[in-house]
C-alpha cells in the first residue's frame, strides 16, 4: 500500500515528489505537496518545513492518499482543493473557471499602481471575461470607492465569481454576456468606464502543442484558446467595445500572448488609442499592455 509507511511531513513530501515525477519537476511537486498539507493541516508552509519530522495523524493521511491519486491523473491541485490564491486572497475555482495565474496578479498590480493615488475617487471599472472574478474582486478590494462590473459568457463561471465576491466581502456587479456579439446599445455601452481590463483567451493552436497536459486536459478551453488565423479575435472585439464604452481619457488594460506585443501595439494605434505601454511580466515576456482612449 502506497502510504503504509508515510508518517512524517517529510515522508509525505518525498512521496509526492516520487509519485508525481512524470508530471512535475521536483520544485513543482514540492509546492503542490505544500498546498495540500497547508489545506489539510491548517499549518503554514514555514511551520510545515520547521516541523518536517512531525508525524501526521491517520485522519490526515487517509485524505492525502485520494488527493495524490487524483494528482497523478494530471488534475491541477487547485481544482482538487477547490481554491486558489490570487493577490493575497482566496478564490473558489472549478473546471468552469481558469485557475488564476501569477502573471495576472502583475496586471492587477499595474492597474492599482496607476489608480491608487485616486483611491478616494469614484471610478468605474469593467472586467471582461472575468472567470473566477479574480481581477474584479482584487481590484475592488483595493479601490474602495470604485464601481466594479464584470462580464463573462459562462453562467457557471459567473456563479463562481459571485461566490468569490461574497467570500472576499466585496460588491461587484456580474453580468452574463458574449463580448464577441455585444450590441451597440448594451447596458455596458455609452462612455461610462474609467478602466476596462481583460485577460481574454489568447493561446493559439501553435502554443497549444507546447502546453502542459494538466492545463490542456482540465482547464476550460473557452477561456484559453483562439485559432491560429484569428489570434487577436477577442482583443479586436474588446477594442471596438472600448471605443464605445470607455470615457475619453479612460484606460484599457490587457493581459496578452507574449508573441503578439507588436500586433497589439498596432491594433491600439490603428484604433486611435494613445499612451500605449507594453509591459513584460516577471519572466521577461511581453505580457500586458495599457492604452488610453483619445
Ligand atoms: N496565461 C494562460 C496560460 O498560459 C492563458 C490565459 C489566457 O488565455 N487568457 O495558460
Whether this prediction's pTM lies above 0.85 is answered by yes
215 in contact with ligand 1, CB cutoff 6 A: yes
Residue whose CA is at the smallest distance from ligand 1 atom 4: 203
Cell numbers at 245, concatenated:
464604452
Window from 3-7, 11-15, 42-46, 53-57 with minimum mean pLDDT? 3-7
1 vs 196, more confident: 196
In angstroms, what is the span from residue 98 Cα to ligand 1's centroid? 8
pLDDT > 60? residue 284: yes
Could you identify the residue written with the cell 511537486?
A: 29
pLDDT in tens, 20-59: 999 999 999 999 999 999 999 999 999 999 999 999 999 9
224 in contact with ligand 1, CB cutoff 6 A: yes
Confidence of residue 118 (pLDDT cuts 50, 70, 90): low
199 in contact with ligand 1, CB cutoff 6 A: yes
Cell numbers at 19, concatenated:
509519485
Angle, alpha carbons 16-85-220 (nearest 5°): 80
* Other beta carbons less than 10 A from residue 193's beta carbon: 23
CA distance 2 to 4: 6
CA distance 268 to 256: 13
The per-residue pLDDT of the chain, averaged, comes to 94
Contact 190/244 with Cβ under 8 angstroms?
Answer: yes
Contacts of 74 by beta carbon, 8 Å cutoff, 6+ apart: 23, 213, 214, 217, 218
Question: Residue 62 has what pLDDT?
Answer: 93
pLDDT > 60? residue 116: yes
Q: Which residues pair with 291 in a beta bridge?
A: 252
The H or E element spanning position 174 is strand 173-176
Question: Residue 1 has what pLDDT?
Answer: 46
**Quick one: average pLDDT of 66-84?**
96
Angle, alpha carbons 109-112-116 (nearest 5°): 145
pLDDT > 80? residue 3: no
134 in contact with ligand 1, CB cutoff 6 A: no
In angstroms, what is the span from residue 257 Cα to ligand 1's centroid? 8
In angstroms, what is the span from residue 84 Cα to ligand 1's centroid? 16
- Given the DSSP bridges, would you call strands 286-293 and 246-255 parallel, antiparallel or unpaired? antiparallel
Question: Residue 119 has what pLDDT?
Answer: 62
101 in contact with ligand 1, CB cutoff 6 A: yes
pLDDT > 50? residue 261: yes
Nearest-atom index, ligand 1, CA of 203: 8
Query: Angle formed by the axes of helices 26-41 and 58-72, to 10°?
Result: 140
pLDDT in tens, 136-153: 999 999 998 899 999 999
pLDDT in tens, 215-231: 999 999 999 999 999 99
Confidence of residue 132 (pLDDT cuts 50, 70, 90): very high
Amino acid at each position: 500500500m502506497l502510504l503504509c509507511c508515510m508518517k512524517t511531513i517529510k515522508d509525505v513530501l518525498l512521496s509526492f515528489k516520487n509519485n508525481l515525477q512524470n508530471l512535475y519537476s521536483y520544485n513543482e511537486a514540492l509546492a503542490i505537496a505544500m498546498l495540500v498539507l497547508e489545506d489539510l493541516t491548517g499549518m503554514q508552509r514555514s511551520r510545515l518545513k520547521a516541523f518536517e519530522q512531525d508525524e501526521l495523524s491517520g485522519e490526515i493521511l487517509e485524505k492525502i492518499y485520494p488527493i495524490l491519486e487524483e494528482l497523478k491523473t494530471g488534475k491541477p491541485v487547485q481544482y482538487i482543493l477547490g481554491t486558489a490564491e490570487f493577490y493575497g486572497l482566496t478564490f473558489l475555482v472549478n473546471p468552469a473557471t481558469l485557475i488564476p495565474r501569477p502573471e495576472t496578479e502583475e496586471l492587477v498590480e499595474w492597474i492599482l499602481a496607476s489608480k491608487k493615488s485616486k483611491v478616494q475617487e469614484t471610478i468605474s471599472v469593467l472586467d471582461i471575461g472575468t472567470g473566477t472574478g479574480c481581477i474584479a474582486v482584487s481590484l475592488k478590494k483595493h479601490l474602495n470607492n470604485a464601481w466594479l462590473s464584470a462580464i463573462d459568457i459562462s453562467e457557471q463561471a459567473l456563479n463562481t465569481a459571485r461566490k468569490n465576491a461574497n467570500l472576499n466581502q466585496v460588491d461587484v456587479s456580474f453580468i452574463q454576456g458574449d463580448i464577441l456579439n455585444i450590441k451597440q446599445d448594451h447596458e455596458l455601452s455609452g462612455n461610462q468606464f474609467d478602466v476596462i481590463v481583460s485577460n481574454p483567451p489568447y493561446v493559439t493552436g501553435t502554443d497549444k502543442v507546447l502546453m502542459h497536459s494538466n492545463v490542456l486536459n482540465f482547464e476550460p478551453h473557452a477561456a484559453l484558446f483562439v485559432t491560429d488565423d484569428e489570434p487577436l479575435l477577442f482583443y479586436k472585439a474588446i477594442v471596438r467595445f472600448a471605443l464605445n464604452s470607455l470615457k475619453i481619457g479612460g484606460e484599457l488594460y490587457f493581459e496578452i500572448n507574449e508573441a503578439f506585443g507588436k500586433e497589439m501595439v498596432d491594433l491600439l494605434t490603428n484604433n486611435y488609442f494613445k499612451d500605449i505601454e507594453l509591459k513584460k511580466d516577471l519572466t521577461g515576456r511581453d505580457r500586458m499592455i495599457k492604452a488610453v482612449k483619445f
